[in-house]
Amino acid sequence: MKADLEYEYNNWINHLINIKKLSQNSVISYKNDLSKFLIFFQDYIEKNIGLKEIENIEISEFRSFLTHRRNSEISSNSIARNISALKSFFRFLIKNNKIKESSVFNLKSPKLKKSLPRPINVDLAIQVIKQAEEIEDEKWIGLRNKAILLLLYGCGLRISEALSLNHDDIQNEDHILIKGKGEKERIVPMMPYIKKGIENYLEACPKEIVSGDALFIGKRFSRLSPRIIQYALEKIRTTLSLPETATPHALRHSFATHLLDSGGDLRTIQELLGHSSLSTTQKYTKVETSKLLDTYKKTHPLAKK
């Protein structure tokens, strides 16, 4: 890769982080997707590439890359993300007058199936949280994992939000201030049971966690990686014979669904989840049609006539 292209590649990454405010996982995914394309294209034309070469990429060459990716048996969702990453990069270059145009914008994303979230039922959610403590050999790690899962199911946090918490963020008695996607802040209530779970972890932790420190740490005492909790869930799934859909994010789904099932309203749940759009919350909170009809019949004025 020539120096001019490498320079703009790094500028684009900084743009995603500092201007677009994408999550760490999204930045890593976009970075990997674009890197794969640049490596592919350089091999494809058998020469070192810079801004001049990528400005002249034909639509057929972009499609060859996508065919190459499909042959790797990646999903339609991944193909769609590949296209999104490419368009983001080339849009950045055009906006900053580094290239004039690109055929990449003629690419069409594949149609994606709209999949509904699969929440865990109440009893299983509680079993998962208890198992998090029991399955680990080291007590403090079990208590740490349990505290994190409590935040996912009890507060509806994203895994990234839970792991980005610092010690200072939990000093309020009954709530947490969460900084979610796009740097949007929201207040989430924290039940005493969840607070106690975090305190139990802090007491057992071999490193004293003080003001300014990451709340959840790994064995090397650095901020915990999401992969550690995903792996813990994999072990719990095996122990409890749960499906692969029982993920950390499924606990957030369950938080929303169980609140709605218990009479919570969509607007409140939207605030708790930190969704900008109510339609997004509706996807997280699927209620059986029979229950909706039952509620309608009991509450609508005409149904009482």
List, by residue number, the catalytic residues.
158, 181, 249, 252, 275, 284
Long-range CB pairs of 179-182 (<8 Å, 24+ gap) are 180/274, 181/21, 181/23, 181/274, 182/21, 182/276
**Backbone CA torsion sign across 170, 171, 177, 183:** negative
Residue bearing tokens 């490498």: 6
In the chain, the amino acid numbered 295 is T
Cα-trace Rg, the chain: 23
Q: Rounded to an integer, what distance in angstroms lies between the CA atom of residue 157 and that of residue 150?
A: 9
Q: Rounded to an integer, what distance in angstroms lies between the CA atom of residue 143 and that of residue 194?
A: 12
Instruction: Output the DSSP codes for 233-267.
Output: HHHHHHHHT--TT--HHHHHHHHHHHHHHTT--HH
Of 305, 259, 303, 248, whose CA–CA distance to 281 is shortest? 259
Of 24, 88, 13, whose CA–CA distance to 224 is shortest? 24
DSSP letter assigned to residue 219: T
H-type alpha helices, the chain: 3-18, 24-45, 51-55, 59-70, 76-95, 122-134, 139-155, 159-163, 192-204, 226-240, 248-261, 266-273, 278-284, 289-299
